[in-house]
Structure 1
């Protein structure tokens, strides 16, 4: 690839070389036009999910008092997962050149359609992007339900300790609660005392959506079927979202809080890509190109696939490990890693990355 050069082409001190690695790659990507917005792509995607939601709503009304409604509950969860992916893209400012348009689109999609807070998610997700898998800095590895280090597990007692020892096996069942947890966390964030004016507006949007959804279920269905519909929808939604996010970093090296890494290595070495075709791309909302997404967060989703071979070659050229596995292999790694922390108390700092930098 003519745009990419090896480290020894222009001798530099190690610190200078590490700093320039990302700069050179980013310049290549910009020159290829891969950071340009793809508004037509997103307009079609948003129109499709809105049409799908309207179709499901019509189906619920027409089907009436029937247990077949649970099939529509599952379908609704799948569509809302796609809504969440689109809100994620908009919050990363991948759709419009205007920050305001991106922000309000994210609020409308997350709050108005999915019943979640875009501002809560953005605050949490930005911290994750700034320091993926870094102890004390990445909120995605600071969870109450899961322990990512032996130290975190050692603080548990009784039933929580027993569950922590086997947390890998409970990981996917726990994801059925993730949908409910996202709604609860959103409301806690939006209803706190120090909420901003925009967050109060967002709170009104989220509460209206959630209240309207519950009211519609209770009006259209007997209470038992309404409860079953809600339970199935939340469970499938949680599993779909969790199964899309979990393979990207879980089981990759954890970084001590004080370790300093250059941007390229910090993003690539802690991330994992998932192989697959169109189905995996659709099911994971483009998050299967996690390395590329972390390197270029504002890159539109359809461009991630195009930049992948460039990033992979660049990493190989400069000796930066690029990790990519199949979908089911990634889930095996996640379960094994969580059980290693619990059942065998593996120290996640004992990894080639940390050894290399300590040496």
Structure 2
């Protein structure tokens, strides 16, 4: 009888701990960034997918293994949001393009979060997801990223001061010897390196333009003037001129972050501009056509398939001992720098 009672207690504990394990986007849960470092885009929907959508599996923004470690944390979330204006982002180099694309992603301990998502990808694969054909040359190339964003859900973890840690996690933290690097790394695999402090989901449509240096410099100068004179009338807007073939090396395909093929097909059909004897895709049409902007907004309204922003913070709040917390974070961040260099 006693054995049966002990068995039931053990099962209930196991069930509780298994229930803390998830694969959805759970605010406050922890992940091990090293589990898929270099290819986090495999478990997060952050770039347009090249595969054909068979309609069987719904597109989800996040499917990385995560663990609930805080017993009574709370968060705030907002559903909905207006479409942002078209963003034109200037990128001096290929790495600038990647830093800009992932500018809303933060991983404490690194200044280049894109490395965690695509560091293991070859240049050809990265450019293909950006809609650009790889010509073997990245040096002295400059790019412009044009985006149109529709947020769906935003979540932010509340202050963790005074928040309790799950009992089994607390015991593991207390037993952890942070002076033993190997033991710390085993802890990372079991309980994670970072927790999800905030995220934004939704969708965005984007296009990359590859520029000649001379044309790129002219566009940058024009954009600076345009920002200074933001209240000026759009009647004299010469934006199309700076996106003409005379200044461009390559015009990228229009892509949708969630991989939504319906939206991509609509964009391919409707967002084209004629130039001389041929036409080409151009997100600039949204800038000049309120009707097309409205139609795109309607198409994106219910699409929550892409991760638009993510803020991951190291697990300092798990530790009651401040010195222990800092030592743990130091090991995590040193490892991040090493992985970043080698990715």
Structure 1 length as normaliser, TM-score? Answer: 0.24
More strand by share: 2
TM-score, length of structure 2 as denominator length:
0.25
Larger radius of gyration: 2
